[in-house]
Amino acid sequence: MTLIVFRPSPSELTGLPPETVSGAIQFKGISVGETASVGQRIAGTSLIYDGERNGAAAFSGTVQTALHPQGSTFIWYGELLDNVFIKQTLTVTSVSVDSVRLEGTAEIWIIPNE
């Protein structure tokens, strides 16, 4: 199955995670993977790859820890649309001065319009 969110506008959530919303339609176990160059946004997030610093991938566009070494895993919660939320569990699989590779899974919640 392919799930496409048209015209997403990702913004980071720092409050309660979206799985606490009752009545939401949930999609789990969505495989995600992306290679991003310096200055490029990671799809479905507000994260922008800023390059390698001391062996770790540096990101802007987040209030969380911005440095993640190769092999580390982190979680990004966000809102794609007013009623569409995402949780991405991402692992840094490779990092270089020019690019970063992230792989992991995503969960998406859609809150039906009433």
Token pair 């966000």: residue: 78
Query: From the CB of residue 72, how many other CB atoms can be counted at a distance below 10 Å?
Result: 14
* Residues 12 and 99 sit within 8 Å (Cβ to Cβ): no
Q: What is the pLDDT of residue 6?
A: 73
Q: Kindly report the pTM of this predicted structure.
A: 0.86
Q: What is the pLDDT of residue 57?
A: 97
- Does the pLDDT of residue 41 top 80, yes or no? yes
Backbone angles phi, psi at 20, to 5 degrees: -80, -5
- Strands 48-53, 11-12: pairing is unpaired
Confidence grade of residue 24 (pLDDT, cut at 50, 70, 90):
confident
Confidence grade of residue 8 (pLDDT, cut at 50, 70, 90):
confident
Locate the domains of the chain by residue range.
23-110
* Residues 37 and 99 sit within 8 Å (Cβ to Cβ): yes
**pLDDT tens per residue, range 62-102:** 888 889 999 999 999 999 988 888 999 999 999 999 999 99
Give me the percent of the chain exceeding a pLDDT of 70: 89
Q: What is the pLDDT of residue 98?
A: 96
